[in-house]
Amino acid sequence: MIDTHCHLDVDRFDGDRHAVIARAAKAGVLDIVVPAVDEASWDVIAELATATRTPRVHATAGIHPLVVPDLDPSDDEKVLARLEARATRGGIVAIGECGLDDTIDMARAPYPRQEALLRGQFAIAARHGLPLILHARGRGAYARLVEFLDTCALPPASAVLHSYGGGIDLLKRFSEHRLYFGFAGPATYPNARKVRTSLLAVAEDRLLAETDAPDQTPEPHRPGRSEPSYLGAIIAAMAAARGKDVAELNQLTTANARRLFGLPA
Ligand SMILES: [Zn+2]
């Protein structure tokens, strides 16, 4: 199993990170991709990746829309230049997480500003042969992101739209761009029929599993913090939704994650 989206660096893991990592290894998690949210996390995640042997931990670097309202707009170009420099140094498997969000302070981070930052991150990913980790939140943001993809091509290494919650019609539109879709805890929720309908419509070679820990805790571990050792519960729900064996889904999502992020077997 590969957890393609786990915020292992956040302070909610400060008290027991080693135990969390040990439980993930014991549960059969082979690799964890840790998406960066803000610039301060780039080095923290890279150090965590270097210091962790089992499971293998992989670093990324990017700017999440959630932090954009707190950044000075006149610094946006400089932040992108520093991200370019970070990508040049190497040791990261993706640019992200980045994307569009309409649940944030839209006065401080209107769509044109979010899109300019996103366009910059698409260009950096393309120049460095890296995939993107994409985030969308809010019904408007999903629709806006699919329109953005119509005008700004994905990098050759492609992208994952993580924790997909945009519904079936938009999924068909996103699928035209051949991106990957990540599914998290909501796949296990009894009332999340919309998520399972989407899950069923994703092409076999574009399906990924993730915990999005510490958020989006899967059943039967709710309420409380999520962690990468819960990934098996998500893969089991994905397998049930698609009428497949758990082992088959496990193998499939692992192969897809390796292909997207260029991870060794
Ligand atoms: Zn995330």
CATH number at residue 152: 3.20.20.140
Radius of gyration of the chain (CA): 17
**Beta-strand relationship, 159-161 and 180-183:** parallel
Q: Compute, in angstroms, the gap from residue 263 CA to the centroid of ligand 1.
A: 20
Ion ligand 1: residues, Cβ under 5 Å: 35
Q: Compute, in angstroms, the gap from residue 231 CA to the centroid of ligand 1.
A: 15
Structure tokens at 160: 């994952």
Q: Compute, in angstroms, the gap from residue 247 CA to the centroid of ligand 1.
A: 26
pTM for the model = 0.97
Q: Compute, in angstroms, the gap from residue 97 CA to the centroid of ligand 1.
A: 6
What whole-number distance in Å separates Cα of residue 170 and Cα of residue 142?
7
Q: Compute, in angstroms, the gap from residue 211 CA to the centroid of ligand 1.
A: 9
Find where tokens 């944030």 sit: 104
Q: How far is CA 31 from CA 45, 83, 261, in A?
A: 14, 24, 11
Residue 230 is which amino acid?
Y
206-221 pLDDT tens trace: 999 999 999 999 999 9
Cis amide prior to 214 (ω within 30 degrees): yes
Q: Compute, in angstroms, the gap from residue 104 CA to the centroid of ligand 1.
A: 15
User: Is-contact 137 103, C-beta < 8 A?
Assistant: yes
Structural domain range at position 55: 2-261
- pLDDT score of 138: 85
Q: Compute, in angstroms, the gap from residue 220 CA to the centroid of ligand 1.
A: 21
Q: Compute, in angstroms, the gap from residue 99 CA to the centroid of ligand 1.
A: 10
Residue 22 is which amino acid?
A
- pLDDT score of 68: 98
What whole-number distance in Å separates Cα of residue 29 and Cα of residue 13?
17
Structure tokens at 211: 């915990």
Q: Compute, in angstroms, the gap from residue 96 CA to the centroid of ligand 1.
A: 9
Q: Compute, in angstroms, the gap from residue 105 CA to the centroid of ligand 1.
A: 18
Q: Compute, in angstroms, the gap from residue 212 CA to the centroid of ligand 1.
A: 6
Give the count of domains, the chain. 1
Q: Compute, in angstroms, the gap from residue 67 CA to the centroid of ligand 1.
A: 12
Mean pLDDT by 10 residues, the chain (265 residues): 98 98 98 98 98 97 98 98 98 98 97 98 98 93 97 97 95 96 96 93 98 97 96 98 97 98 96
Q: Compute, in angstroms, the gap from residue 213 CA to the centroid of ligand 1.
A: 8
